[in-house]
């Protein structure tokens, strides 16, 4: 049985589209984003209410815990409903997109806290974290998918 060149080209195009569809669904589980949001709130509270040594320790522990979880999840192969795909399909830029997104959210939080502090608000770190944490928890997966599409990751 031989396959005509047109049939082969159509089959390869269908495989390519299916692969792109699966790669487009790669993300991090919603629980990851809610964990990040909880950590955001905790660090905001510790930043306002805790002693300096505790702020430092909490930040380091949060970063260490995040890096352990991220080492498992940020390979890009963990889909939100449990499907695992190869790194070649998931794309190698997904971890970079996630880290960039988190850096931007940290910058937003710090900027809000500085603005609130300059305005004289009480507990500016808590308020800034309370503003950004819901964005992380509710919108994390959607923001990640939009950024992945934007940079074609």
> Long-range contacts made by residues 17-23, C-beta under 8 angstroms, separation at least 24?
19/89, 22/83, 22/85, 22/89, 23/85, 23/89, 23/90, 23/91
The predicted model gives 103-129 an average pLDDT of 92
Cβ-count burial of 69 within 10 angstroms (0-12 exposed, 13-18 middle, 19+ buried)? middle
**pLDDT for position 25:** 53
**pLDDT for position 90:** 59
Residues 45, 59: Cα–Cα separation, whole Å: 12
**pLDDT for position 93:** 73
The predicted model gives 133-153 an average pLDDT of 86
Convert the pLDDT of each residue in 91-112 to its tens digit. 667 778 878 888 898 899 999 9
Would you kindly state where each structural domain of the chain is located, as residue ranges?
5-151
pLDDT above 90 (res 12): no
Dihedral angle, C-alpha 63, 147, 109, 126, nearest 10 °: -80
**pLDDT for position 117:** 92
pLDDT above 90 (res 21): no
């Amino acid at each position: 049985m031989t396959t005509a060149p047109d049939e082969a080209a159509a089959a390869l195009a269908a495989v390519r589209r299916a692969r792109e569809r699966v790669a487009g669904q790669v993300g991090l589980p919603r629980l990851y984003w809610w964990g990040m949001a909880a950590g955001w709130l905790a660090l905001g509270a510790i930043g306002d209410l805790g002693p300096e040594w505790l702020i430092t320790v909490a930040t380091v522990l949060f970063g260490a815990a995040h890096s352990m979880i991220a080492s498992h999840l940020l390979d890009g192969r963990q889909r939100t409903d449990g499907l695992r795909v190869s790194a070649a399909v998931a794309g190698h830029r997904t971890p970079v997109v996630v880290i960039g997104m988190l850096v931007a959210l940290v910058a937003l939080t710090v900027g809000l806290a500085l603005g609130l502090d300059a305005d004289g608000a009480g507990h500016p770190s808590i308020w800034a974290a309370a503003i950004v944490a819901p964005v992380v928890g509710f919108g994390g997966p959607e923001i990640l998918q939009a950024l992945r599409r934007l940079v074609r990751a």
